[in-house]
Chain A
Amino acid sequence: MSVALEASGLGKRYRRTWALRDCNLSVPRGRIAALVGPNGAGKTTLLHLAVGLLAPTSGTIRVLDQAPGDPALLARIGFVAQDTPLYRNFTVADLLTLGDRLNRGFDRPMARARLERLAIPLDRRVGALSGGQRAQIALTLAVAKRPDLLLLDEPLASLDPLARREFLQALMGAVADQGVTVVLSSHLLADLERVCDYLIVLSAAHVQVLGAVDELLEAHKVLVGPHRDDQPPIAGVAQVVRASHTDRQATLLVRTDGPNHDPAWKALDVTLEDLVLAYLAEPAAGTLPGPAHDDSLEVQA
């Protein structure tokens, strides 16, 4: 399967601080990838590097098998920046003209139809519209480029729950229609779980977790069992990501490498939210694809 976004050894430094360091990742085509992590983890930096707004300090990033920044490549990428910046004194129709003039292959009828379906008036000034409507316009502009890759930087942040759902539905619709790869950064894990099938967790400038959501969910379990201070290794557990316990009972979020036959432990499925939160709470834990796991990263319970 070919790759939509690939970084190797990627780093970006702002003066003395590294916003992103030694970052290796790849997102296969056709995926909807969630890019999550705490504030300042480097999500925006990664997306800006991918779209050529920033140049890497070290390493390389390749987008759709090309180096970023080339206008021909940019026409194939739909990018919605954080806070969905638009020219506020333009009318909605003006913005469509902008997209049309600046991009070869801009699908204006489709954009128009989409905005009509969303009941966004074309003759209204953008500054007079609500945040949700602006986000929808920004997404429309990005989708109407008929891109191969959509990069969305926290598009849900300014939306109320209903608008969020509509936005994600619209996104899913566009993905289904066009077979586009999406990388979507957000804090709203519960929303992401519904739409995303690939996960990138960034933490403190590093890639902490990377992989397909279904595989990650399958490989992680919550184990509930007796609490012991000298916990012997549990069969089928490759790594304990996060452990919490009361006096008698321990709850472990673990990465498994085989079936668990230990009757003392009850295994429960994890949600994406549990998984991400467990990793974010334990920055030293990490899981990356491939057979080689760095043992030094493993956390013992």
Chain B
Amino acid sequence: MIWLVWRQHRQQALFALLGLAALAAFLVPTGIQMHDAFERAGLPGCLRAAASVEYVQVVNGADQAPDPVSTCQDLAAQFAGRFGSRGAIGILLWFLPLFVGLFWGAPLIARELEHGTHRLVWTQGVSRRRWALASSAWSAGAWCC
């Protein structure tokens, strides 16, 4: 049964793996680059300082000392300006589960019915429950990975 499910879906699995690899090839260097830029701009320290600034201080000494909050805001704006567009990729990731369900989950049974092959596979010496279990376990497993 597991063999059958693998044989039926191995092409799909291959494409999914390729897709994930392509996504990783893009996301991992971007992530490293973002991390480096974040460090180099001194944003970690600046943000920590900004977090410790109290509201009273800001109001009183706004003109004298360099304002940690506004400098930090500038740095953050620069950072966001450089990488913000890539944040759109994140939105794509939100919809990934939807796509998995749409393109993998739905056709599990629908395609069998469309091609009439349920009449082949459901009349072998394996119960339909086991077939359903193996098929959905595959999809669920692939999604978890």
Contacts and interface: CB of A to CB of B under 8 A. Distances in A.
- Do A and B interact? yes
Interface of A: 48, 51-53, 71-72, 74-75, 77, 79, 81-83, 85-90, 94, 97-99, 101-104, 138, 141, 145
A254 B8 CA distance: 55
Nearest to A76: B125
Contact of B7 (A53, A71, A90): A90
B126 interface: yes
A75 B125 contact: yes
Nearest to A83: B116
Contact of A71 (B8, B116, B121, B126): B126
A88 B1 CA distance: 18
B125 A53 contact: no
Given A75-B125, A102-B125, A102-B126, A85 B7 contact: no
B127 A101 contact: no
A101 B3 contact: yes
6 contacts: A71-B125, A71-B126, A74-B123, A74-B125, A85-B120, A98-B121
Interface in B73-123: 115-123
B117 A86 contact: yes
A85 B116 contact: yes
Given A87-B117, A88-B115, A101 B123 contact: no
A126 to B, nearest CB: 11
Interface residues of B, number: 20
B117 A97 contact: no
A53 B124 contact: no
A79 B119 contact: yes
A72 B125 contact: yes
A81 B124 contact: no
Contacts of B124: 74-75, 98-99, 102-103, 145
Contacts of A53: 118-119, 122-123
Nearest to B7: A94
A75 B126 CA distance: 8
B16 interface: no
Contacts of A103: 124-126
A103 to B, nearest CB: 4
A145 B116 contact: no
A53 to B, nearest CB: 6
B4 interface: yes
B117 A79 contact: no
A104 B127 CA distance: 13
A99 B4 CA distance: 10
Nearest to B119: A81
B120 A101 contact: no
Contacts of A71: 125-127, 130
Contacts of B3: 97-98, 101
Given A97-B3, A102-B1, A86 B120 contact: yes
Residue from B1, B115, B117, B124 with most neighbouring chain A CB atoms (10 Å): B124
A149 B7 CA distance: 29
Interface in B1-19: 1, 3-4, 7-8, 11
A268 B85 CA distance: 90
Contacts of A97: 3, 7
Nearest to A105: B125
Contacts of A85: 115-117, 119-120
A75 B8 CA distance: 21
The 10 A-B pairs at the shortest CB distance, nearest first, are namely: A75-B125, A81-B119, A102-B124, A85-B116, A103-B125, A79-B123, A71-B127, A85-B117, A102-B126, A85-B120
Contacts of B118: 53
A102 B117 contact: no
